[in-house]
């Protein structure tokens, strides 16, 4: 009997252990993962479709004749569309996602936007991230949720951004959110034997210095968080084994890590994932089809993995893009920056179906789809009905919620 | 994480002496403070040189820029690629292109984007290397200040040439007249495009520039009305620019598109032009207070007291908005050298990176460092929005701090470091942990280190839990000292300005 093999097997949740170890392995397998407080609470995953995804070729209004008039070369033939009802259907590359819809696990909110929309990637992204179309805010909407939710202050993983830059949505006043692109490469580089790591801990916390600075405590505290987070996260998630095959794409890797963090029960409430770029001004079809197919495969693997670990009902995923695209295709088989677009809510806790009607193609707003649901209504739905907090201060106003959560 | 309501330093402002010339003790600690604020920190030799001068001479040497003609005048920029003849035939009329033509357009778009990216990299590298090498650090610091104030970015298709011209404008007016600079900015192609004044015409006024001019550039919210925005937008109608083949732009005052009617702005009426609007703005008390607040928060400390703001505002008015004499007073002032102002700011990513290069005499910036700056939250020529970088606490989160520490580690591991930074090599030869720890903390942190941390650093160098220093080979000593330099830069003081 190899003792090391036993330990690895048990911690890794693997069943490949020698017969003598089976009793112990079974006992380990039934014991709950160590977990942190809130480890079984609801989780929100946000996927940002960066660059402006064309909503019209995602949820296709094949039943509206004007669609084909506006999209002579880019229009998806009615026969190819994965029909959802008599008016709309999904882009055929979304087949795995259609299965999730058919199982009642996808809510599609049609025509999401906001008044006087901005057409710049930067500003429009910032508006979605801060939930503030008219002002410049220093915190994001998810950051405000995290500050408000009364989460344990000593948990370093109340939220995790799966990116190498902290998205503005997660900028908070009193919650520090780590941004982890991938476990490999995350953390401090330091000398080979690690002795400087120990010294680092002490220095980072050392505030008994011969000067006063209003920033000293904040800097010391964040240095300490950064250091401990980087050391602890890889260890805390090491015992998780994925039960699905993810696409070998950045999105696939991000969602695999998201499932690993959820499954390791760290008390994480919000995860943020990026996907793109959807900025399809020229020859849109190849780029958008590739990105949507990747999304469909990855999200399907994600929920398969979550379900295998019993986490699918406590994880809801929301997609968004900074804007949709112009209704009429341009002369280069692409589309330019537009306005309203659909938002997806995904997961076992969602009440599947289509919310709101497709924006009217005969009443465009300077060539763009007029919105019929304010994006802050979707946020309010997520905050109130999924995460169970009042949304007024978080989304900066009173917005009606949608009955899209079971 | 807890956050105080304000990052104004503790203690009380002495209003009576705040702007009086500082006449307290003068040493390397003060010299380093001055160089961090009026520059990017400088090399240890720069600190020695400044410490040997009087405070007055030190500040005069900074505000009267030395000759910078020895520096590279600008980056090598590619002219924007010209599309092959006929590629966009029918595009304006909306005629659908054949698939092959669409593919060619895609290829051209990628070529244009790649060219734009190369230009942006060239500009960022050039500017960072200029900041590192310049004998006039305050000139570059002010250029950075104006870049974060009068923001423009490539976001709306602005060319590298246009952005570089704006950068030159900021440098030319670094400590010049703020009113004149504001007028030049209002006629600057990168700004005209960024805030849509190129489409602000009599028939369809666009208020974007007029609004931000008052809200974010000169007065601040609450000091004008929506009506003032509408009226002043009319005054700026017709201010646009012409594209040149080399990618640059030339200001054009298109009279045919200018609204010649009477405008009523901030209580005055007349057939105002954009120039008149800017003159009127600078007669407002709010304008001097606005710039005073911004300068104090950038150079002295956050959330400055209203009495201090009023004093600096009065100084701006007295000097007719000429910045050089104002900065001369501010940088020599008692409040600037007070303990309350000392390390009271957070280093921006650019200050952090450029300062580290200067410290170790590494003149070249590598491509990877541009990505590092992005991860730290500051991309030159790409401010996040029209408000510029928030700065202060916004620079610091788990992600940016990890990136800063890893950058410091890479700097400490850089082979050039020990060769080119004479102070490190000199120290290394002593082989004495106390001497080395003293030199590192004095040079990198001006001794702003606690006794406990100092003791740990000595223990680390001496080999706590490992081989003692005396038993190490030269190669291993090198490694130990690099580790100690990194640890010193990991102390909180190194994050503070």
A153 touches chain B (CB under 8 A): yes
φ and ψ of B444, to 5 deg: -80, -30
- A160 & A25 share domain: no
Claim to verify: residue A43 and residue A20 sit in the same structural domain? no
Label residue B468 by pLDDT band (50, 70, 90).
confident
CB B455 within 8 A of CB B408: no
Least confident of A295-309, A322-336, B280-294: A322-336
With 80 as the cut, is the pLDDT of residue A316 above it? yes
Domain-embedded: residue A232: no
What distance in Å separates the CA atoms of residue B305 and residue B309, rounded to the nearest whole number?
6
Is a pLDDT exceeding 90 seen at residue A33?
A: no
Lowest mean pLDDT among A6-20, A305-319, B451-465: A6-20
- Shortest Cα–Cα distance, A340 to chain B (Å): 21
Highest mean pLDDT pick, A154-158, B57-61, B382-386: B57-61
pLDDT of residue A136: 87
Q: CA-to-CA distance for B361 and B416, rounded, in angstroms?
A: 9
pLDDT at A350 over 90: yes
Same domain, A151 and A15: no
**pLDDT of residue A34 exceeding 60:** no
Could you tell me the two tokens for B18? Answer: 């705040």
Q: What's the pLDDT at A7?
A: 24
Note whether residue A305 is domain-resident: yes
Residues A12 and A121 in one domain: no
Q: Please check whether residue A219 lies inside any domain of the structure.
A: no
* pLDDT score at A156: 93
d(CA A139, CA A143): 6
Q: What is the ipTM of this complex?
A: 0.92
Within 10 A of B329 (CB to CB), how many other CB atoms are there?
Answer: 18
Answer yes or no: do A134 and A40 share one domain.
yes
| Residue A216 to residue B393, Cβ atoms within 8 A | no
Using an 8 Å CB-CB cutoff, list chain A residues near B95. 331
How many CB atoms are located within 10 Å of the residue A211 CB? 17
**B85 vs B156 pLDDT, higher one:** B85
pLDDT value of residue B417: 65
Q: Does residue A17 carry a pLDDT above 50?
A: no
Q: Mutation target for B interface from A128, A151, A196, A213: give the one with most B CBs within 10 A.
A: A213
* Average pLDDT score over residue span A106-116: 97
Q: Are residues B120 and B381 in contact, defined by beta-carbon separation less than 8 angstroms?
A: yes
Helix (H) or strand (E) holding A274: strand A270-276
The whole-chain average pLDDT of chain A stands at: 87
For residues A165 and A261, membership in a common domain is answered with: yes
In angstroms and rounded to an integer, the radius of gyration of the C-alpha atoms of chain B is 25
Residue A331 maps to a domain = yes
B137 or B362: which carries more pLDDT confidence?
B137
Q: In chain B, pLDDT over 90 holds for what percent of residues?
A: 72
pLDDT digits (tens, 9 = 90+) for B44-55: 999 999 999 999
pTM over 0.90: no
Is a pLDDT exceeding 90 seen at residue A26?
no
Number of CB pairs, chain A paired with chain B, less than 8 A apart: 218
| Angle formed at CA B445 by CA B377 and CA A222, multiple of 5 degrees | 40
Q: Give me B242's structure tokens.
A: 């012409």
* Residue A120 to residue B109, Cβ atoms within 8 A: no
* Pairwise CA distance, residues B298 & B386, whole Å: 17
Tell me: pLDDT of A37 over 70. no
Least Cα distance to B50 among A200, B356, A10, B41 occurs for B41
- Tell me, yes or no, whether A301 lies in a domain: yes
The three state secondary structure string of B196-259 is CHHHCECCECCCHHHHHHHHHHHCCCCCCCHHHHHHHHHHCCCEEEEECCCCCEEEEECHHHCC
Query: Of B154, B165, B167, B153, which is closest to residue B112 (Cα–Cα)?
Result: B154
Q: How confident is the model at residue B277 (pLDDT cuts 50, 70, 90)?
A: very high
Residue B370 has pLDDT above 80, yes or no: yes
Cβ neighbour number for residue B334 with a 10 Å cutoff = 17
Q: Are residues A46 and A159 in the same domain?
A: yes
Is A206 a member of any domain? no
Higher model confidence: residue B172 or residue A181? B172
Find chain A residues with C-beta within 8 A of B410's C-beta: 189
State whether A109 and A156 are in the same domain: yes
Query: Of A365, A372, A374, nearest to A337 (Cα)?
Result: A365
Cβ proximity of A112 and A49 under 8 Å: no
Q: How far is the C-alpha of A293 from the C-alpha of A291, rounded, in Å?
A: 6
Task: Judge whether residue A195 has pLDDT over 70.
Answer: no
Q: Is the pLDDT assigned to residue A199 strictly greater than 80?
A: no
d(CA A361, CA A329): 13
Kindly tell me if the per-residue pLDDT of B408 is higher than 70.
yes
- Tell me the residue range of the domain where A50 lies: 36-183+237-395
What is the residue-averaged pLDDT of chain B? 92
pLDDT value at residue B269: 98
Please, which pLDDT band fits residue A11 given cuts at 50, 70 and 90? very low
Q: What percentage of residues in chain A have a pLDDT greater than 70?
A: 86
Residue A190 contacts B where some CB pair is shorter than 8 Å:
yes
Number of other residues whose CB lies within 10 A of the CB of residue B250: 11
* DSSP assignment string, B436-455: HHHHHHHHHHTT---HHHHH
Number of domains into which chain A is organized: 2
CATH number (domain holding residue A122): 3.40.720
A53 and A173 in a single domain? The answer is yes
Same domain, A246 and A374: yes
Are A120 and A17 within one domain? Answer: no
Give per-residue pLDDT as tens, B254-273: 999 999 999 999 999 999 99
């Amino acid at each position: 009997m190899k003792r090391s093999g036993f330990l690895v097997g048990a911690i890794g949740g693997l069943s490949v252990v020698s017969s003598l170890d089976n009793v112990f392995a079974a006992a380990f397998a039934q014991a709950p993962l160590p977990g942190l407080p809130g480890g079984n609470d609801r989780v929100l995953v946000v996927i940002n479709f960066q660059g402006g995804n064309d909503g019209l070729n995602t949820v296709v209004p094949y039943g509206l004749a004007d669609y084909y008039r506006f999209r002579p070369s880019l229009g998806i033939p009615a026969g190819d569309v994965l029909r959802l009802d008599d008016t709309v259907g999904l882009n055929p590359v979304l087949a795995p996602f259609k299965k999730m819809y058919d199982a009642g696990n996808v809510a599609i909110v049609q025509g999401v936007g906001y008044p006087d929309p901005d057409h710049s990637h930067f500003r429009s992204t910032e508006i979605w991230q801060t939930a503030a179309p008219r002002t410049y805010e220093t915190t994001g909407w998810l950051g405000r949720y995290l500050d408000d939710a009364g989460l344990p202050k000593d948990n370093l993983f109340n939220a995790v951004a799966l990116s190498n830059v902290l998205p503005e949505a997660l900028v908070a006043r009193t919650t520090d959110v780590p941004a982890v692109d991938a476990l490999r490469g995350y953390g401090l580089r330091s000398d080979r034997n690690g002795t400087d790591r120990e010294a680092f801990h002490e220095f980072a916390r050392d505030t008994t210095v011969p000067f006063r600075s209003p920033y000293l405590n904040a800097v010391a505290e964040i240095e300490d968080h950064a250091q401990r987070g980087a050391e602890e996260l890889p260890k805390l998630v090491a015992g998780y084994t994925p039960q699905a095959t993810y696409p070998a794409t950045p999105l696939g890797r991000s969602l695999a890590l998201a499932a690993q963090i959820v499954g390791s029960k760290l008390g994480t409430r919000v995860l943020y994932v990026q996907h793109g770029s959807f900025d399809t001004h020229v020859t849109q079809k190849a780029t958008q089809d590739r990105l949507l197919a990747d999304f469909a495969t990855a999200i399907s693997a994600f929920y398969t993995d979550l379900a295998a670990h019993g986490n699918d009902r406590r994880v809801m995923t929301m997609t968004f893009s900074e804007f949709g695209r112009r209704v009429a295709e341009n002369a280069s088989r692409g589309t330019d920056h537009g306005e309203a677009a659909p938002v997806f809510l995904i997961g076992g806790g969602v009440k599947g179906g289509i919310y709101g009607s497709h924006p009217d193609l005969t009443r465009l707003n300077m060539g763009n789809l007029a919105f019929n649901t304010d994006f802050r209504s979707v946020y309010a739905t997520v905050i109130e009905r999924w995460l169970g907090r009042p949304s007024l201060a978080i989304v900066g106003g009173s917005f009606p919620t949608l009955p899209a959560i079971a | 994480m807890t956050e105080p309501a304000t990052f104004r330093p503790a203690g009380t402002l002495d209003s009576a002496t705040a702007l009086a010339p500082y006449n307290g003790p003068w040493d390397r600690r003060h010299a380093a403070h001055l160089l961090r604020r009026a520059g990017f920190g400088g090399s240890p030799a720069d600190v020695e040189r400044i410490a040997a001068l009087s405070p007055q001479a030190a500040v005069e040497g900074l505000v009267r820029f030395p000759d910078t003609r020895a520096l590279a005048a600008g980056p090598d920029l590619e002219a924007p690629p010209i599309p092959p003849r006929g590629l966009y035939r029918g595009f304006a009329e909306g005629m659908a292109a054949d698939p092959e033509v669409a593919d060619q357009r895609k290829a051209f778009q990628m070529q244009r984007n790649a060219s734009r990216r190369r230009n942006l990299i060239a500009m960022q590298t050039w500017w960072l290397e200029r900041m590192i090498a310049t004998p006039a650090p305050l000139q570059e610091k002010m250029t950075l200040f104006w870049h974060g104030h009068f923001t423009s970015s490539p976001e709306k298709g602005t060319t590298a040439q246009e952005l570089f011209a704006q950068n030159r404008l900021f440098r030319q007016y670094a400590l010049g007249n703020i009113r004149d600079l504001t007028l030049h900015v209002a006629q600057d192609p990168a700004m005209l495009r960024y805030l849509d004044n190129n489409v602000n015409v009599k028939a369809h006024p666009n208020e974007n520039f007029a609004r931000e001019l008052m809200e974010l550039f000169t007065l601040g919210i609450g000091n004008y009305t929506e009506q003032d925005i509408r009226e002043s937008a009319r005054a700026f109608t017709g201010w646009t620019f012409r594209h040149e083949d080399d990618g640059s732009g030339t200001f054009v005052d298109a009279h045919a598109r200018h609204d010649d009617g009477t405008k009523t702005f901030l209580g005055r009426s007349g057939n105002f032009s954009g120039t008149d609007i800017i003159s009127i703005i600078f007669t407002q008390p709010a304008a001097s207070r606005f710039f005073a607040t911004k300068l104090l928060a950038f150079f002295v400390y956050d959330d400055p007291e209203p009495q201090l703001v009023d004093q600096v505002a009065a100084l701006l008015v007295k000097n007719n908005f000429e910045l050089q004499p104002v900065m001369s007073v501010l940088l020599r002032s008692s409040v600037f050298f007070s303990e309350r102002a000392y390390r009271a700011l957070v280093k921006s990513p650019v200050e952090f990176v450029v300062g580290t290069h200067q410290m170790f005499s590494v003149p070249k910036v590598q491509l990877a460092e541009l990505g590092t700056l992005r991860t730290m939250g500051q991309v030159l020529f790409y401010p996040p929005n029209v408000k510029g970088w928030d700065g202060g606490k916004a620079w610091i989160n788990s992600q940016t701090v990890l990136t800063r520490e890893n950058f410091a580690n890479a700097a400490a591991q850089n082979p050039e470091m020990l060769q080119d930074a004479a102070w490190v090599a000199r120290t290394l030869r002593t082989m004495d942990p106390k001497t080395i720890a003293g030199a590192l903390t004095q040079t990198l942190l001006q001794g702003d280190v606690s006794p406990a941390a100092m003791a740990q650093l000595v223990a680390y160098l001496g080999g706590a839990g490992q081989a003692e220093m005396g038993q190490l080979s030269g190669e291993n000593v090198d490694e130990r000292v690099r580790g100690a330099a990194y640890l010193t830069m990991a102390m909180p003081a190194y994050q503070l300005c």
